[in-house]
A and B are shown apart, each in its own frame.
Chain A
Amino acid sequence: MSAYIVSILTEGAIFGIMALGLNVIWGWSGDFDLAYYGYIAVGAYMTLVLTIGPATAPAHYILGLQLPYPAAVVLAVLSSMAVGLVVGLIALRHLRGIYFSIVTLGAVYVMYVLAGQYVPLFDGYNGLSGLFDPMGDWFGLDYLSYQWFLMGLCLVMFGLVLLFMWRLSNSRFGMALRTLREDERAAAAFGRDIYRLKLKGYVIGAGVGGFAGALFAAYLSAFNPSAWSPVEIIVLYAAVLVGGRGNIWGVVLGVFIMGILVQESTRFLPEVPGHPQIVLALRGVIIGLVLVLFLRFRPQGLLPERRYVDPQPKLEPATQTA
């Protein structure tokens, strides 16, 4: 039972970091980005190729270094940010609304097909494996105590990301991103560089996603195309939406609800003989249904974002100075 709680908390912390990164792009900047899961995957793949050492005989992959795990994580985050920068440069320039979503959907499928089919990159469909207990031997941990260590590590990192997001949320940059979401023209009229701000937010989001991917790689110790699929992003969107997009405490609540209640409650359903996927599929139906119902009846989520009100709404225009 304690192993079960350890695994839920580890997964929950990683899932929480993913959702907080997505919240920058969708919650604050307001762009429905479908490529996000690609950045998580880039983070996970890069962590693996930087730590597991050179490829042996039938396997092919790039790099194949044996860096210490923290160094690999930093490089993996930078890779995700680089990929996010490329996609953002193309997609954020002129496109908004569904056209932005369609181009990012395209981008993530290009990543998925390349990772899954182009063997020299990340060994194609076989994927990568062999990252066992990173940093474990530094502290001389055995298998069981390592699980506790990884849980602690993920929870601490989740806390740090949350702190970073909390600071970002109240910063001028965070405010500026929200302004873009509400009214781009007005923001431009006040001298905001829309493209730069959106791009900055997008790259930060991609980096946080890559960071979650790097932790995910340590948790799974392997990553391959059957471990991820671009549509899984729906679960993250459902979490952010249910909690309250734009509000980091709402996002945490959403992760708790979607992660713990939906993912875990269906775990105890009886297995139906001959239908191994039925529980997983039922979970998918529930997630889709929750997404549609919340969009329709409570789009602001359970913990809505605080609305900022002008403290001096009746200021005379003539008295304002530049």
Chain B
Amino acid sequence: MNEALLTLGFALVTASILALSAVAFTLEYAVTNVANVSHGEILTVGAYAAYLVHQRTGSAVAAALAAALAGGLAALAMHSAVIGPFIRFGATPTIVFIATLGMSFMIQNTLVIFFGAANVAYTLDPGAPQHIGPFLLTPLDLEIIASAIAITVALYLVISRTRFGKALRAVSQNRELARVTGINATRVAAATFFLAGLIAGYAGFILAESVGSFNPFFGFSFFLITLTAAVAGGLGRAFGTMVGAVLVGIILEFAGGYVSASYNLAFAFAILAIVILVRPRGLFTNARRTVFE
């Protein structure tokens, strides 16, 4: 029992990182109706930016800001260079899906050219583990969880209270109708990508420091888990996605703890396949329409 609670504590850390990555992915999906396969590369770019800035300045806060900014710019570039033009050109979601897969391949290999394919060790001092309630967590773990909650709250306020949030919701519900009412859908989508990139870049930074090392392919393998969380929560639904991420994070951590961490990806995809087949619109919806393009 005690061990189960300890595992739950570690699961909360995984779930926090996953929630940030998945909510960013689902925001990208919401405004474009396209699954951005190169989403994982935003995390990778964030991790490299954090590492470089941390080496120069020695400040973790500067590293976190650099990660977020680099992630935001990377996501904005993805939207303006590939995803936006494809959508304006009238490409189907599958075609854009393939294009973002190609883009992901390009970015990974570009990072290999500049930084090499080897793992880069990147650890912050996690501090001494402390008992917090039934959990055993380091101060670093606590910072990760707290920052994830803070970002979620801030994102909730932006989406529900601001004019931009209103435009974002309008574009995600019906792009054409939003345009008719005078919303510049392309600009809203670009801004949403920047916002999602800020979150995903920061997620890349905390993922890198919680794993302890990263390489040009590290975002892509995390993307596969992100996708599971986002689909479980319902693609395009920001807050369903958060719950999906927490659930997937907990399931993975328990599966990894009791079976073997190396099977994590296989587990993630078993969950994903079941969710897509049984509840294609996500776990938390009563929509009757199934997904059939």
Please give the distance in Å from A77's CB to the nearest CB on chain B.
Answer: 25
| Contact-residue bracket for chain B | 35 or more
Docked-complex contact B276 and A95, CB < 8 angstroms? yes
Docked-complex contact A296 and B86, CB < 8 angstroms? yes
Q: Known A110-B270, A113-B262, A113-B266; judge A94-B86 contact (CB<8 A).
A: no
How many Å lie between the Cα of A99 and that of B272 in the bound state?
A: 10
Docked-complex contact A292 and B265, CB < 8 angstroms? no
Does B291 count as interface, using CB distance less than 8 angstroms?
A: yes
How many Å lie between the Cα of A169 and that of B35 in the bound state?
A: 32
Does A53 count as interface, using CB distance less than 8 angstroms?
A: no
Q: Determine the chain A residues whose CB is within 8 A of the CB of B92 once the complex forms.
A: 97
Q: Determine the chain B residues whose CB is within 8 A of the CB of A107 once the complex forms.
A: 269, 273
Contact of B265 among A113, A238, A277 (CB under 8 A): A113
Docked-complex contact A105 and B95, CB < 8 angstroms? no
Contact of A296 among B85, B104, B108 (CB under 8 A): B85
Docked-complex contact A295 and B99, CB < 8 angstroms? yes
Does A102 count as interface, using CB distance less than 8 angstroms?
A: yes
Does B263 count as interface, using CB distance less than 8 angstroms?
A: yes
Residue of A nearest to B261 (CB): A117
Does B174 count as interface, using CB distance less than 8 angstroms?
A: no
Q: Determine the chain A residues whose CB is within 8 A of the CB of B224 once the complex forms.
A: 105-106, 109
Please give the distance in Å from B259's CB to the nearest CB on chain A.
Answer: 11
- Find residues 81-100 in chain A having any chain B CB closer than 8 Å to their own CB: 90, 93-99
Contact of A291 among B86, B102, B220 (CB under 8 A): B102
Does B94 count as interface, using CB distance less than 8 angstroms?
A: yes
Q: Determine the chain B residues whose CB is within 8 A of the CB of A97 once the complex forms.
A: 92-94, 97, 291, 293
Q: Determine the chain B residues whose CB is within 8 A of the CB of A126 once the complex forms.
A: none
Question: Which of A96, A280, A281 counts the most B-chain CB atoms under 10 A from its CB?
Answer: A281
How many Å lie between the Cα of A295 and that of B94 in the bound state?
A: 11
Contact of B116 among A96, A277, A285 (CB under 8 A): A277
Does B284 count as interface, using CB distance less than 8 angstroms?
A: no
Docked-complex contact B95 and A106, CB < 8 angstroms? no
Docked-complex contact B291 and A99, CB < 8 angstroms? yes
Contact of B98 among A114, A280, A295 (CB under 8 A): A295
Does A287 count as interface, using CB distance less than 8 angstroms?
A: yes
Does A103 count as interface, using CB distance less than 8 angstroms?
A: yes
Please give the distance in Å from A137's CB to the nearest CB on chain B.
Answer: 40
Contact of A101 among B94, B104, B107, B277 (CB under 8 A): B94
Residue of B nearest to A289 (CB): B106
Please give the distance in Å from B269's CB to the nearest CB on chain A.
Answer: 3
Question: Which of B89, B94, B262 counts the most A-chain CB atoms under 10 A from its CB?
Answer: B94
- Find residues 26-81 in chain A having any chain B CB closer than 8 Å to their own CB: 32
Docked-complex contact B105 and A234, CB < 8 angstroms? yes
How many Å lie between the Cα of A97 and that of B113 in the bound state?
A: 33
Docked-complex contact A90 and B277, CB < 8 angstroms? yes
Docked-complex contact A114 and B266, CB < 8 angstroms? yes
Q: Determine the chain A residues whose CB is within 8 A of the CB of B137 once the complex forms.
A: none
Q: Determine the chain A residues whose CB is within 8 A of the CB of B290 once the complex forms.
A: 94
Docked-complex contact B293 and A288, CB < 8 angstroms? no
Q: Determine the chain B residues whose CB is within 8 A of the CB of A117 once the complex forms.
A: 260, 262-263
A/B interface sample: 19 pairs, CB < 8 A:
A93-B277, A94-B290, A97-B92, A98-B93, A99-B280, A99-B291, A102-B272, A102-B276, A106-B272, A234-B105, A278-B112, A282-B113, A284-B109, A285-B106, A288-B102, A288-B109, A292-B99, A292-B103, A296-B89
**Residues of chain B having any CB pair with chain A under 8 Å:** 35, 82, 85-86, 89, 91-95, 97-99, 101-110, 112-113, 116-117, 220, 224, 227, 231, 260, 262-263, 265-266, 268-270, 272-273, 276-277, 280, 290-293
